Amino acid sequence: MSAPTVAVWKFASCDGCQLTIIDCEDELLAIAAALDLRLFLEAGPSELLDHYDISLVEGSITTAHDAERIRDVRERSGLLVTIGACATAGGVQALRNSADVAGYTAAVYARPDWIETLATSTPIADHVQVDLELRGCPISKEVLLSTITALVAGRRPAPTGHSVCVECKAAGNTCVLVAHGTACLGPVTHAGCAALCPSFQRGCFGCFGPSESADVDALHTAWRAAGIADADLLRALRTFNVAAPEFAGGAQRVQLRAKEHA
Amino acid sequence: MQALAADGYRVVGPVERDGVIAYADLGSGDDLPTSVTVEQSPGRWRLHHDDSGHRFGWTPGADSWKQFVYPAHQEVLRIRRTDGSFVVTSPPPAAQPLAFIGARDCEVRAMAVLDRVVLDPLHPDPRYAQRRDGVFVVAVTCGVPAATCWCTSMGGGPQPAAGFDVRLTEVHDAVGHRLVAEAGSDRGAELLLRLEMGAATTDDLAAANGVARAAADGMPRRLDGAALPALLQGTDHHPNWEAVAERCLSCGNCTMVCPTCFCSTFSDHTGLTDDGSAPIETVREQDWASCFQLDHSTLGGHAVRATTKARYRQWLTHKLQTWTAQFGTTGCVGCGRCTTWCPAGIDIVHEAAVLAGLPTAAQPPNSQKGSSA
């Protein structure tokens, strides 16, 4: 069994998911042995090959150049795995999708005419075929490791799509929504973080994006019953996974219901 | 508790933690919640304090004894490659038998329901059997039902009738504040004799029965549980399933807190080696699963129960209808956990009543915000 060749690619992102790979400190030697890491600029390797068995792709598509580059990455890749909220949903930078990008560019850059950017931030799957998505902002080290070990052993990686609530109850956490009235996106959020925030009695803020059957309308009703303002739900939905269809559509309907309510 | 610990038991029971009642390891009676009351209604739990000094003046939270005998996550076996062969090992059994302090009647009955499923003679779960074997149960009579309680509709009552070694009833009357203890087994009697507590008087026992009677009279929800299996037949296309699905989050909380839900999933995990050679060890793990997960009904790559409506229908009809035909007992003990801990506040009693065409439960007398009929 020879180690699969691997590339780690970066698009529009903060590098946090790439850092999660490097953050596997105790397992780094084993990862380096199990994977033939050829391209991973953040960590050093910079060998451009015609083909990699596995590509890990971080970041979203925000420029015409990147929209071309991801096609090239796809052609060079056997299995293409996206890592993190940017690559799977467009990331926090997808807030631009409903804003005035030209205005932002003018406000930030001394020479906005030098900036070439798209009006939208879109996930990798909007551009090319994606074989597996790892969620999170950033991704979870445990999910990453279980994916790597599955791929190396020839098992089917199986990141679960159920809600954070399942992990929360398995951990024996107190439900902060039911018992404290704390705003928590857990019931509509994809598992994988081992219920990190609720484990510290904080509400989930949805960084893993929508769960497999996320129902924002039902959560809206539940948050209202708990006395939480509609504005708080809109704010919660419009962060790292703002452009995920379930969150984006849900937020629109929350706004409509808020208007009817007013 | 000290006597049980001295006898070698791992003593677990209620503690106050993070605004709820949780079940955890106990060192002494000081660890028990004191002067705690709780307020429960669909989708809502609040813990309050008073100056009563009562130790059991609350109704249980999301935790149940299931977590000790059928844990959320457990190792099943380990397969290790050796020269030309392999060795399979099972995790070592728990070092100590368990003692449960403060199990309510619904919880004692839930253990029996779970036993019937997980210790099915055809496929007994050896890990469960090992943990369950010899559990010492100190049961407690419920004095104050929560607004979500409906045990008397599901074959139980505030006073545990069987399945315990010792039964405690907290009495606070003109005579004073005391725990009345009754033995339910030989080893329970032996423990009580050893503790040299004062003998209960007939007045004490009458007072204890009075606590149970008052709690039963104050039970907020009533539905003919025994009639439900027949009444729920033919309701597959009832419009109420759609109505519930609009509110249901498919989050799985109801199944996770249910003391009788037993679904689980198995997964294999391999490690990595520092020299890149093939991993030498595989671990098989078992985790709680839920009929609200798409994986749960995935066959041939597709979820059979793809909609929330189909999943909620599966959950409710299994609990209240089909479990009886499958296992000979009801799947629900009327503890109300699924209702309290549903973030959307879906009330199983109300939904069952609508589906079965029964009058919906009367407004709970001590409810802060019970569901409307």
Kindly give the residue spans of alpha helices, DSSP state H, lying in B146-238: 186-195, 202-217, 228-231
Q: Min CA distance, A74 vs chain B (Å)?
A: 25
Q: Give B366's pLDDT tier (boundaries 50, 70, 90).
A: very low
The ipTM is 0.95
Q: Does A87 touch chain B (CB under 8 A)?
A: no
Structure tokens at A32: 């380096």
Mutate to test the interface with B, among A24, A37, A165 (most CBs of B within 10 A): A165
* Residues on chain A touching B270 (C-beta within 8 angstroms): 149-150, 152-153, 155
Domain boundaries, chain A: 5-153, 164-261
* Residues on chain B touching A177 (C-beta within 8 angstroms): 343
Interchain proximity B294–A1, CB inside 8 Å: no
- pLDDT at position B273 is 84
pLDDT > 90: percent of chain A: 94
Q: Does A170 touch chain B (CB under 8 A)?
A: yes
A19-28: buried (b, 16+ CB within 10 Å) or exposed (e) per residue? ebbeebeebe
Cα B74 to Cα B93, B99, B285, distances in angstroms: 12, 20, 6
| Eight-state DSSP code of residue A41 | T
Across the interface, of A165, A201, A212, the residue whose CB is closest to B253 is: A165
**Has residue B304 got a pLDDT over 70?**
yes
Domain boundaries, chain B: 2-217, 225-356
In three-state secondary structure terms, B298 is strand
* Residues on chain A touching B294 (C-beta within 8 angstroms): 161-162, 212-213
Across the interface, of B63, B268, B308, the residue whose CB is closest to A155 is: B268
Kindly state which CATH superfamily the domain A5-153 is placed in. NADH:ubiquinone oxidoreductase-like, 20kDa subunit (3.40.50.700)
A90-134: pLDDT as tens digits? 999 999 999 999 999 999 999 999 999 999 999 999 999 999 999
Q: Can you state the angle between helices B240-247 and B348-356, rounded to 10 degrees?
A: 160
B9-35: pLDDT as tens digits? 999 999 999 999 999 999 999 999 999
Across the interface, of B18, B73, B273, the residue whose CB is closest to A30 is: B273
- pLDDT at position B365 is 39
A 205-234 near B (Cβ less than 8 A): 211-213, 215, 217-219, 221-222, 225-226
Q: Which is nearest to B293 in space by CA: A184, A33, A170?
A: A170
Mutate to test the interface with A, among B251, B275, B342, B368 (most CBs of A within 10 A): B251
Interchain proximity A219–B249, CB inside 8 Å: yes
A5-36: pLDDT as tens digits? 999 999 999 999 999 999 999 999 999 999 99
* Residues on chain A touching B45 (C-beta within 8 angstroms): 175, 178-179
Q: Which is nearest to A14 in space by CA: A86, A117, A115, A81?
A: A86
Structure tokens at A247: 């969150």
Is residue A8 within 8 Å of A21, Cβ to Cβ? yes
Amino acid at B323: W
Interchain proximity B270–A160, CB inside 8 Å: no
Mutate to test the interface with B, among A5, A175, A246 (most CBs of B within 10 A): A175
Structure tokens at B251: 């989050």
Kindly give the residue spans of alpha helices, DSSP state H, lying in A13-163: 16-22, 28-34, 64-76, 85-89, 101-108, 141-153
Q: Which is nearest to B148 in space by CA: B220, B203, B79, B61?
A: B220
The residues that bridge with B48 in the sheet, in sequence order, are B37
**Has residue B367 got a pLDDT over 70?**
no
Q: Min CA distance, B133 vs chain A (Å)?
A: 23
Interchain proximity B270–A149, CB inside 8 Å: yes
Mutate to test the interface with B, among A174, A200, A219 (most CBs of B within 10 A): A174
Q: CA nearest B250 in A: which residue? A: A213
Q: CA nearest B307 in A: which residue? A: A213
Q: Which is nearest to A190 in space by CA: A174, A204, A172?
A: A204
Q: CA nearest B41 in A: which residue? A: A178
Q: Which is nearest to B129 in space by CA: B120, B137, B138?
A: B120
Q: How many residues does chain A have?
A: 262
* Residues on chain B touching A144 (C-beta within 8 angstroms): none
Structure tokens at A82: 């996206």
A193-203: pLDDT as tens digits? 999 999 999 99
**Has residue B330 got a pLDDT over 70?**
yes
- pLDDT at position A1 is 55
Q: Min CA distance, B282 vs chain A (Å)?
A: 10
B213-234: pLDDT as tens digits? 999 999 998 899 999 999 999 9
Least-confidence region, from A101-110, A125-134, B327-336, B360-369: B360-369
Q: Mean pLDDT, to the nearest integer, of B321-335?
A: 95
Q: Min CA distance, B283 vs chain A (Å)?
A: 12
B154-171: pLDDT as tens digits? 999 999 999 999 999 999
CB contacts < 8 Å between A and B, how many?
150
Q: CA nearest A212 in B: which residue? A: B294
Contacts of residue A33, Cβ cutoff 8 Å, sequence gap at least 6:
A3, B272, B273, B274, B275, B276
